[in-house]
């Protein structure tokens, strides 16, 4: 079961817990559970260059320190902030986590 859900509590959390219980009881197959888990993942939204810079400044860290937290090179952060490149994949996921929960969420 995937632990990264949109909500641990509330309606989605309750529904996910119910479906996981049905899976354990053998009433929901593995493929259906995987599909359900995928639907419950936190969405990853693209960020603009200005949003990335504002995010880094909100966390009060330099580009090299921010890059270290994200496990990317400093020049990658610089290029993102200038709009020369756009983050994708794991970097974009981490940026969205930092946006939602702060830098300590990935520390």
Cα–Cα–Cα angle for 43, 6, 66, rounded to 5 degrees: 60
Q: What is the pLDDT of residues 22-75, one digit of tens each?
A: 889 999 898 988 888 888 777 789 999 999 999 999 999 999 999 999 999 999
Q: Which value, in Å, is the radius of gyration of the alpha carbons in the chain?
A: 17
- Nearby residues of 32 by Cβ (< 8 Å), 6 or more positions away: 23
**Cα(91)–Cα(67) distance, integer angstroms:** 10
What CATH number labels 49-105?
1.10.260.40
Q: What is the pLDDT of residues 76-105, one digit of tens each?
A: 999 999 999 999 999 999 999 999 999 999
């Amino acid at each position: 079961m995937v632990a990264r859900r949109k909500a641990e509590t509330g309606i989605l959390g309750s529904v996910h817990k119910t479906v996981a219980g049905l899976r354990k009881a053998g009433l929901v197959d593995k493929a259906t559970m995987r599909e359900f888990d995928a639907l419950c993942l936190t969405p990853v939204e693209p960020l603009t260059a200005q949003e990335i810079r504002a995010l880094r400044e909100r966390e009060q860290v330099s580009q090299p320190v921010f890059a270290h937290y994200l496990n990317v090179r400093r020049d990658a952060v610089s290029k993102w902030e200038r709009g020369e490149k756009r983050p994708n994949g794991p970097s974009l996921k981490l940026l969205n986590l930092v946006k939602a929960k702060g830098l300590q969420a990935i520390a």
